[in-house]
Amino acid sequence: MSTEFTQLAQEQTGHLRKSLGRFDIVFLIVAAVVSVEVLGQVSGYGAQTFTWALILAATFLLPYGLIFAEVGGAFTGEGGVYVWVRTAFGRKAAALASLLTWVTQPVWVGGSMAFIAAETWAHYVSGITPNSITDYVFKICFVWLTVLAAIISLKRGKWIPTMGAICKIVFLLLFLGTTVVYAVRNGVTGLSLGDFSPTIAGLLGVTPLLLFSYLGFESGNSAAGEMKNPARDVPISIARACALAVGCYLLPILAILLVVPADKITGIGGLMEAVATVFSVYGAATNVMLTIAAVMFAVILVTQGAAWMIISDRMQAMAAADGAFFGGFFGYFSPRLGTPTRVNFASGVIATVFMIAAMQLSGSSGAIFGVVLSISISTYLLSYLIVLPAVARLRTHFPDVERPFRVPVGDRGFVALCMLCLVWVVLGAWVAVFPGTLEALFGISYDFTKTWGVSPATFEIFTLGTLAVLGAIGAVGYVRGKPVRRGVSNFDAPRPAELVSDVEAG
């Protein structure tokens, strides 16, 4: 397998600046990965959501965190997932994995996050009429604020996701604390232990959402070339971020279930509806507190989108610089800012286009949010069908690479952990792309239109159409990258670690 990287890739890594310490990495991951906007959607499946969240934390998040703590500390080249898959399976597989990972972000920002931000703002801050000029302007501004935050040099821009992560934690703590006061004064919904019993229907419903929530903790490695000491800091940062995430998901889910009846929880507004319910304890100050909470929520969403752009755009820029995505145009890092400005702008354009396309769908904002969120989940989960086998291969085929943290199992045990995670991902990806099919197999009643707010045909056209367009873009992009691939740079007697360390190469 070729171990040659392009001259352009090496040149561009020379523009990177080491500015991320352990504190920055933890909060960058938390800002990007802990997805508060899905709490309402996933809680809509009732009390068993909490049970399944616990089960997946033990059988998915724990092995997943161990796997990527090892890989992230050992293979520390700028580009993260792209570099790992490139080393394990070659450039073509890496190009596909990178594209699926990267495109999730603008689809998600433009088609889901902009919608939930607009809905929240309209309800609790200032009225916005759906599909009005104001609605379009708000969502476009939302998208391009995330882009601008990602363009700023990482030395200064890192404080934006850090602020967002802290705001996210404060918001959730405020919600949880107020929920306790509300429960003492007013009681809670009549949940019984039987309501927490897991079912197959619940499994099929919540798995894609929970996986989407639990994935991405390795994403900080996309900026590994800008970390001060990634080998030391990445494993610890992933462990801390995973632990924070468990609390940030399980406790708010339980709180939502305790104060809002399951049949009243909506995907787009579930969390803020629960906030509105418990904030009634503030009496005359309720409306002011709700406005403050809504503004905090909007800030969280903007900084979350920005954090994902900071991370994923770097990965895609490295793919482009290595000749895997068009002719190198997108493989450009600004010498002054050290950021991949061309990919940043491309992300903004895609997010805007997808936002406009989503607004043409018939149905409520909640239905559109659910459909586009499902598309984002499908592209993201599909990328892990390549990434997980790649990291398993890195353990078995590159044993000499120094691993500051090593999962305390043999190679077979490590591969088994990867396969356990892969089984969950396969299930989640299938359900995300083809909802309702496994329910039919198990004889479970499933009302598609009631669940999604659109017809099965509309859903699949939008979902499969998106995947088809991505496939075409990826194929054309790889072909157009051929001139860049000709400009490879040979390493002299490369050691395995050097094959994935663009910091050394640059």
Q: What is the average pLDDT across 105-122?
A: 88
Average the pLDDT over 330-342 and give the result. 89
- Sign of the CA dihedral running 41, 196, 260, 33: negative
CB of 308 within 8 A of CB of 32? yes
**Cα(113)–Cα(385) distance, rounded to whole angstroms?**
25
Q: Is 132 within a domain?
A: yes
- State how far the alpha carbon of 138 is from the alpha carbons of 75, 128, 303, 352, 356, in Å: 40, 9, 16, 12, 12
Structure-model confidence comparison of residues 84 and 452, the more confident one? 84
Determine the residue type at 201.
A
Sign of the alpha-carbon torsion through 20, 26, 29, 31: negative
pLDDT score recorded for residue 488: 58
Q: For residue 501, is it within any domain? A: no
In a domain, 190, yes or no: yes
Lowest mean pLDDT among 234-238, 360-364, 410-414: 360-364
Residue 86: what pLDDT?
94
Q: Is the pLDDT of residue 497 over 50?
A: no
Q: How far apart are CA 215 and CA 219, in angstroms?
A: 9
Closest CA to 434 of 471, 399, 460: 460
The CATH number of the domain where 477 resides is what?
1.20.1740.10
Q: CA 77 to CA 79: how far, in whole Å?
A: 6
Q: How far apart are CA 186 and CA 30, in angstroms?
A: 33
As to burial, measured by CB atoms within 10 angstroms (0-12 exposed, 13-18 middle, 19+ buried), residue 310 is: buried
Q: Which residues contact 465 (CB under 8 A, 6 or more apart)?
A: none
Q: How far apart (Å, rounded) are the C-alpha atoms in residues 82 and 86?
A: 6
pTM over 0.95: no
Which of 233-247, 258-272, 356-370 holds the top average pLDDT?
233-247
**What CA–CA distance (Å, rounded) separates 46 from 249?**
14
Do the Cβ atoms of 242 and 61 come closer than 8 Å?
yes
Position 506 in a domain:
no
Q: What is the mean pLDDT of residues 423-443?
A: 94
More confident residue, 191 or 483: 483
Angstrom distance (rounded) from CA 500 to CA 77: 5
How would DSSP label each residue in 412-431? HHHHHHHHHHHHHHHHHHHH
206 contacts 41 by C-beta, under 8 angstroms: no
Question: Tokens 């600004």 sit at which residue?
Answer: 334
CB environment 89-106: b (16+ within 10 A), e (fewer): bebebbbbbbbbbbbbbb
The residue among 287 and 267 whose pLDDT is bigger is: 287
Instruction: Report the alpha-carbon distance of residue 286 to residue 474 in Å, rounded.
Output: 50
Amino acid at 83: V
Q: Is the pLDDT of residue 499 over 50?
A: no
Q: CA-CA distance, 252 to 173, in Å (whole number)?
A: 9
277 located within any domain = yes
How many other C-beta atoms are found inside a 10 Å radius of the C-beta of residue 125? 15
**Looking at residue 5, what DSSP letter applies?**
E
In a domain, 1, yes or no: no
Of 193, 239, 186, 242, residue with least CA distance to 213? 242
Please count the structural domains in the chain: 1
Based on C-alpha coordinates, what's the Rg of the chain? 22
Q: Which range marks the domain in which residue 175 is found?
A: 19-483
Residue 159 confidence (pLDDT) above 80: yes
Report, as an integer, the average pLDDT of 168-184: 91
User: Which has more confidence, 39 or 342?
Assistant: 342
- Return the higher-pLDDT residue of 358 and 377: 377
Distance of alpha carbon 391 from alpha carbon 117, whole angstroms: 36
| Per-residue pLDDT, 262 | 66
